[in-house]
A and B are shown apart, each in its own frame.
Chain A
Amino acid sequence: MFNLLGICEEDLKLVDNNEYLDMFFAESEEYIMVLNDNILKLENKPDDTEMVNSMFRAAHSLKGMSATMQFDNLTELTHKLENLMDLIRNNKLKVNTEIIDLLFAGIDYIEETVKQIKENGNDEIELKDYLEKLETVLNNETNEMIAKTKDKETESWNYLTLDDEEIYTVKENKKDFDTVYAVNVRLNKETQFKQVRASMVLKEASELGYVFKSEPDIENVEEVKLQENLVRIILVSKQDQEKIVKELKSISDVTEVGIDRMKLEAEQNEDNKEKQKNNNNVSSKFEISSSVRVDIGKLDNLMNMIGELLINKTRLEALNIESDGFKDVLPQLDRVTMDLHHTVMKIRMEPIGVMFNRFPRMVRDLSKDSQKEIDFIMEGKETELDRSIIDELGDPLTHLLRNAVDHGIEKPEVRYKNGKDKSGKVTLKAYQKGSEIIIDIEDDGAGIELDKLTKKALEKEIVTQTELEEMDREKKLQLVFEPGLSTNEEVSNVSGRGVGMDVVKRTIESLDGNIHIKSEKGVGTKFVISLPLTLAIQDALMVKIDHEVFAIPLNSISETLIIKSKEIKQVKSNDVIVLRDQTIPLIDSRRSLNIEVGDDSYTDKEEMSVVIVKSSGKEVGLIVDDLLYQQEIVIKSLSEYLGNVHNISGATIIGDGEVALILDVRDIA
């Protein structure tokens, strides 16, 4: 009880501005994403107002949030953008490249402001120029539009209206076939007899029907000055619109006639109802899904605790108590813990689309800058991946896509000359394959010139001539991941400084993934990244090496064998085995792990267990003392205190509560 209270108090203290700020950052990020995404779509489909609606909502929410947090600059910025979107939404502003660019620039400013808030806690950012630009567009365009609407004789005619009492009177007096019209008649502003003409208009109107109300009034038409050269009438008549317009236009000095059928209360109500119905439809379409935003750290904690629960459950099972009750409850406990485990795993998964969404905008900007035409295709946005992996993937994918646009895709004229489609194709595709997630980044650009690459590698002394001669095509291509290599002579502001590809590879490998490259000159380049579904839990084979239990991730094992010592052959004084016509080198796990080996080499044994592991295309046979069992393991980091340990990628806790180390097969193979 004390504990509970203690926790509550702590939590209450935490709920200060900081927590709101975190929320603000998380949400603004989301809204910025929505905005970017929709502007892109709008660029392709300028007429789709639905897009603008959701943009408007995002901008509006952003505005509300920043106002609450008292970020005045940001509030103003989003307010202006909101106005702009409102104009687009109401068809008062035509979407063109200028507007799109303006919107994009606005989003960039929002992003920058949010960044500023994050770093310095204030939103002081130079916006004046942009806001002025925005203001000009807002004013200009609206004026233009108003002028246009006047030409179009639409509702901006400013017709006379009726109040409730008047509507009642009209309704009482009008006959069944009568219609109520609002009629505006514009007179030539040059004419000298405005009053006379106005009185003629009113007279003509009363011949067409009953003038219920007019401005100027028929009584004082001779004295009153006309506003905007307009005569405004409410006319009850059984004539149709065309006839009325025709009759009124025949009066000299009349330049324009506007007419609108007025709706009286009963009709108005019906109309409202219809509108409401529509509104209901709309709102149900945007129903907010009930979800909670959770800090990933809390999920990590939860995962940890479930790991603990799993371990203790296994320990409980090992007790093997002779009791019926115990035997009943164990399977139950088992099921509940497994369910719990899978639920949390699922919670940690997010569609990769949350990260992909930033790319269309990036590719658009890049292609615009480099004057290339690019079709960017994204597939498999819904593929789910552990949140922590998604977070790490952003940078490497950004880099690869930039490379594809910058170095891969050729300029349109070059493509045309080479008989290719003028616009290049860049594809980003994610999909699940077994327990792995595969991400492809493919372009149909110039491809990598292998000769150039190897020449550069020689120059930079990354490889020697003899090493190079032993390499096959595949291996040579992998040289792009070596630090300090960049094949493009043109260095642009985004890529080409020779940093990055090695970092990309390292990041992917730190996620326990792999990256491969395929490329053909003139045809294109394809990167294939494979990643584990989740970092937290993996299937592993448990083996025994020198009385210690080690885990080897199942996704790096191709098979396990028991071999006899006579099957071992010698190639260049290395031990190998031949498996299905393939020569596989053997590695003593004890030696590679630096465990005291002594003189008893594995060859002294009659039979031995071999785990065939694969890593970056290679296969090696790892000799272990014993193959134990297969298990789902909860992956934990080896203590920070120890840092990176050679050949060990992490640790897990096994059934008896002991720690087992996870072998890093990449290092061994």
Chain B
Amino acid sequence: MTKTDSIYLDKKEKNTETKNQFLTFKLENELYGLLLEKAKEIIKPPKITNVPNTQKHVMGVINIRGKVTPVIDLKEKLGLPQNADNEKYNKIIIINIQGIMVGLYIDEVREVVSINSDDIEKTTEGDRSLEDEYIRGVFTSKDSLIVIINIEEILFDKSDKSEEVKNA
């Protein structure tokens, strides 16, 4: 799947009853998943134009068929380390939330999985940190563990005013 440059995701095979489809991708060595219906397309990163005076997780803007679209560094936003150097596999997932298009910069796209919503385990109440707001839960399959993220919360979180303005 990662070999194609641009994949239009077929949204017609929608969830049957409580089953939801999730697009899984890699950040560092962990697997993450987001609701497939939020994703519009996956592209190979073009040159990203840096935008000054924006928050650090905003990598810049790209042109998606005439529409200026911001690209978010998801690792930065989630506070993950920036180690992996797999430029070959880097992708941008274009998502559409309430008409606003945003690109998510990620390490590698994996696959689409159907997950029964009951199978998503809520993270334990005790050790909730701020980032946990961003996480819906964890799904464990026989060979892997997928962190299901809440992309709306991540992108439109108004609470994090603490974040520094880039290069200030």
Contact = CB atoms under 8 A, between A and B. Distances in A.
| A pairs with B | yes
Interface of A: 304-305, 307-308, 311, 548, 593-596, 636-642, 645-648, 651, 653, 657-661
B100 interface: yes
Interface string B53-66: 11000101111011
Given A645-B54, A653-B63, A658 B46 contact: yes
A659 B49 contact: yes
B6 interface: no
B9 interface: no
Contact of B53 (A305, A596, A637, A646): A646
A659 B101 contact: no
B49 A594 contact: no
Given A648-B51, A657-B46, A639 B68 contact: yes
A594 B102 contact: no
A594 B66 contact: no
B54 A642 contact: yes
Contacts of B130: none
B70 interface: yes
A654 to B, nearest CB: 9
Contact of B51 (A308, A637, A642, A657): A642
A404 B59 CA distance: 49
A659 B49 CA distance: 6
A305 B166 CA distance: 33
Which 5 pairs from chain A and chain B are nearest by CB? A646-B53, A659-B49, A308-B66, A593-B52, A651-B68
A594 B51 contact: no
A195 B159 CA distance: 103
A659 B166 contact: no
Contact of A651 (B47, B54, B61): B61
Contacts of A595: 50, 52, 167
A644 to B, nearest CB: 10
Nearest to B101: A639
B100 A639 contact: yes
B145 interface: no
| Residue of A641, A645, A661 contacting most chain B CB atoms (<10 Å) | A641
Interface in B107-161: 155
A444 B63 CA distance: 51
A449 to B, nearest CB: 41
B53 A594 contact: yes
B70 A641 contact: yes
Given A642-B51, A651-B61, A636 B68 contact: yes
A593 B70 CA distance: 18
A84 to B, nearest CB: 48
Nearest to A658: B47
7 contacts: A637-B68, A641-B155, A642-B61, A645-B54, A646-B53, A658-B62, A661-B61
A308 B165 CA distance: 32
Nearest to A590: B52
A592 to B, nearest CB: 9
A308 B167 contact: no
A647 B52 contact: yes
B1 interface: no
A435 B58 CA distance: 35
A305 B167 contact: no
B118 to A, nearest CB: 33
Contacts of A304: 66-67
Contacts of B100: 639-641
B2 interface: no
A157 B54 CA distance: 85
A270 to B, nearest CB: 66
A643 to B, nearest CB: 9
Given A594-B165, A658-B46, A661-B49, A639 B63 contact: no
Contacts of B46: 657-658
B167 A661 contact: no
Nearest to A307: B66
Contact of B66 (A636, A639, A661): A636
B168 A594 contact: yes
Contacts of B51: 638, 642, 645, 648, 661
Given A639-B70, A639-B100, A641-B155, A308 B65 contact: yes
Nearest to A547: B50
A651 B49 CA distance: 10
A313 B85 CA distance: 35
Contacts of B90: none
B69 interface: yes
Nearest to B69: A639
Contacts of A638: 51, 61, 68
Nearest to B61: A659
B168 A653 contact: no
B52 A639 contact: no
A646 B165 CA distance: 11
| Residue of A637, A639, A653 contacting most chain B CB atoms (<10 Å) | A639
Contacts of B63: 311, 653, 657-659
A260 B63 CA distance: 82
A277 B109 CA distance: 78
Contacts of A645: 51-54
A410 B155 CA distance: 56
B52 A594 contact: yes
A659 B70 CA distance: 10
Interface in B27-76: 46-47, 49-54, 58, 60-63, 65-70
Given A647-B52, A648-B51, A658-B49, 11 more contacts: A594-B53, A594-B168, A636-B66, A636-B67, A636-B68, A641-B155, A645-B53, A647-B53, A651-B61, A659-B63, A661-B51
A647 B70 CA distance: 17
Contacts of A308: 65-66
Contacts of B58: 642
